[in-house]
Amino acid sequence: MPELTEVEHVRRIVHKTLLGIKIASVSAKEDSIVFPGVEGGEIESKLTGRSIVDTKRWGKYYVLIMDKGPNIVGHLGMTGWIEITHKKPIDGKEKEMACECRMCLRKDPKHVWPPRFWKLQLTFETPDSHITLAYDDARRLGRIRLVDGDPMKELPISKLGFDPLHNLPELPEFTQMVQRRAVPIKALLLDQSFSAGVGNWVADEVLWHAKIHPGHYTNVLTDEECEAIHEKLSYVCRVAAEVDADSSKFPDNWLFLHRWGKGKVWRKDQCFYCGDPKTT
């Protein structure tokens, strides 16, 4: 599932590419699961002619602030993603200039447009080209909502906890928040009402670097252990965001590079934390 750093990458692409450009047309498939409480035709009528004036993110939710009318609040779910393609008319035909879909980013020759499982397409017109944003979701576990008012103060975002990239509490407050609970520390980090946007790989990476067992109960963590978790939570989220969640650019000593068959296999004679030969 995309976690806060992947969603931040998506937000940055939209912010860089689409800000201030009018939406010329909208296509939305009828899907009451992906679009809770709103029909495809209503989405098309409410978004056509609008412009994105700002983008935000909180936890795993991205927010597209529109110039008027409802704003878009989206969650990528397990397999959702936002794909963007640029086309320019040349000699009466449209030529693809750039595409930031997952197939192109992965250099997959089986590129198709629009994505096979698209649910929403927004087409933006400029004087010399048009750009299409498509939301693609094979498993239909993502959500797109139209929210009136300030989406950062409305559900579902209003029920979330702190965002490690935006407002990680200072260490004394963080320590108190952790120690007053009595749950496994990984379970607490995964609780979106505690730390918004932290998912499985981020939680594991944080605890790996902090050298804390995921099942260690929070109410018996020492102040020093809480400080290590606080430091590594900031570190992991910041570094991953700085490289646009591109795992090929993660530091070599990150656990992520050795999970799910990635990278070399750890041997019993290696240190679990650094990979160096064990001395004892």
pLDDT tens profile 64-80: 999 998 999 999 999 99
pLDDT at 175: 98
Instruction: Please say if the pLDDT value at position 211 is more than 80.
Output: yes
- Alpha carbon separation from 239 to 13, 243, 254 (Å, rounded): 18, 7, 11
Query: Which residue among the candidates 46, 60, 87, 119 is catalytic per the annotation?
Result: 60
**More confident of the two residues 110 and 270:** 110
**More confident of the two residues 102 and 127:** 127
| Catalytic annotation present for 2 | yes
pLDDT at 107: 60
CA distance 266 to 58: 35
pLDDT at 102: 62
Q: Residue 16 — very low, low, confident or very high, per pLDDT cuts 50/70/90?
A: very high
Q: Residue 112 — very low, low, confident or very high, per pLDDT cuts 50/70/90?
A: confident
Q: Residue 259 — very low, low, confident or very high, per pLDDT cuts 50/70/90?
A: confident
Give the residue among 227, 228, 224, 198 at the shortest CA–CA distance from 211: 228
Query: Which residue among the candidates 3, 8, 205, 225 is catalytic per the annotation?
Result: 3
Q: Residue 109 — very low, low, confident or very high, per pLDDT cuts 50/70/90?
A: low
pLDDT at 269: 56
| Catalytic annotation present for 60 | yes
- Alpha carbon separation from 77 to 44, 142, 187, 192, 251 (Å, rounded): 22, 4, 19, 14, 26
pLDDT at 160: 98
For residues 259-271, average pLDDT: 54
**More confident of the two residues 95 and 247:** 247
Query: Which residue among the candidates 2, 70, 115, 164 is catalytic per the annotation?
Result: 2
CA distance 140 to 80: 8
**What share of the chain has pLDDT > 70, as a percent?**
85
| Catalytic annotation present for 3 | yes
pLDDT at 50: 97
CA distance 238 to 136: 27
Q: CB–CB of 172/237 below 8 Å?
A: no
Both tokens of 240, joined, read 């991953």
Please return the burial class of 279, using the count of CB atoms within 10 Å of its CB with bins 0-12, 13-18 and 19+.
Answer: exposed
pLDDT in tens, 115-172: 999 999 999 998 888 899 999 999 999 999 999 999 999 999 999 999 999 999 999 9
Q: CB–CB of 23/124 below 8 Å?
A: yes
Both tokens of 222, joined, read 């020492």
